[in-house]
Structures are given as C-alpha cells and as structure tokens.
Amino acid sequence: MKEEEVNRCQIQEWYPRFKSDSIKTMIHELPESFIEYLIDDHGPFLLPLSIDDNDALPNRIHKPEEEEDFEVSEGSEDESEQPSPPPSFPELEMKIKESIKALGGSIFPKLNWSAPKDAAWISSTGNLCCNSFSEVAILLRASDSLVHDLCHVYDSCSDKTVSRPPKFFLALRKWYSSLRPEMEFRCFVRNGILLGVSQREVTGFYPAIVEKKDELITIIQRFFIR
C-alpha cells in the first residue's frame, strides 16, 4: 500500500465526487490546537468549555454531593498542582453548531478516515448521534480507534515518509435513525466493475443477509451499472 492510495480514501477526497450518492455531509478543517487536545493523554479527561454551556451527557443523573468530593478548598494545595482549565474552541464550535442545524439537527462525526464507533458507549444515547459540539467532542476524545487516524495511518505504507497527514478534517454526516447496520456493505470496484461485496458490520451475524443475498447483490449491481 502506498501513501497516495491511503490519501485517496480520506472523506474530503472522495465525498465531492460521490456526494450525490452519499449521505449529506459537511466537512471542516480542524485547527491544530484541537488535534493536540484529541491526542493528549497525559492530563485528565476534560471536555472543552462550550459557548452554549451544552452538556455532552444530558441524560446523566447529577449528584451534587458527589461533585463536592472533588472540590478543592482555596489554598489547600500548591498553585502549581492546580488542574489546568478546560480547553475552548469557540470558532470551531460555532461552525459545527451551524452545520448541525443545516443537516437537520442530528449528525454523526468522523475524521479523515474513521468514525469513533468504539466510543459510542460513552454517549447518552449509546450511538454516534450528536446534536451539539460537546457531544461530538466527547466521542472524538474518548475514541481509541481515532488514534490510528491521528498517529498511525501510514504505518503499513511501503513508502512511508510521514506519520500523519498535514491536515485533519471533521466530517459531520446527517443522522438517519432508519439506517440499519446490517444493511451497510463495502463494495470493491475496479475499472467500473463490481468485484466483491462484504458486510460492513462484522461484529454480528444477520440471517436476513443470507436470506436476501441474491436480491441484495442485484440491487448493488444496478447501482454500478447506472
């Protein structure tokens, strides 16, 4: 695999060409300060301060008596040991807020190559549906799989010269609650010819795929014949 081949798989590279056949998406270049925030694993898990004071976990149960346990009395510790204030990205937050509104109010995020699927457990809904910048940030910050995009995407390249791309992008994709994971497929095409199809969701077995195999293949083939 070559670096050039990996680069062609970035969503900001292929989406403009296939946007008429893809989920509506809005793409934003991420500032380097936000990338540094995502890969920082030395400090505490802090969410950015929101300009709208949005809660990334709106359905959680707040227990003031537990929060008091983490309050630090003034002068009880050396100032050098005080935790750093949460980061803030107001310009990026405003852009994401406007995009979410334009996409109908709900989106799911992904970086150049990957979505934070492994972090779905941390959201209040148990999936990647986001309605605010805070919800996007917590998914990106909690995802281990995105570290591959951020630091190791070229590790398997025979001509590797860099460890990361010069720019990172955040793709906000319109959320459809009707989307079914078992009906998502990877299609392998060469010179306009469909060579193979595989299940995208590989963690489960779906009998319906076996039962409707011939019908699904016919539908997919029609897509490439158009």
Q: Which amino acid is at 93?
A: E
Condensed to tens digits (0 to 9), the pLDDT of residues 65-105 reads 544 554 544 555 555 566 677 889 999 999 999 999 999 99
Q: What's this model's pTM, rounded to 2 decimal places?
A: 0.79
Where are the domains positioned within the chain?
A: 3-176, 180-226
> Residue 70 has what pLDDT?
46
> Residue 82 has what pLDDT?
66
The stretches in the chain having pLDDT less than 70 are: 43, 53-83, 224-226
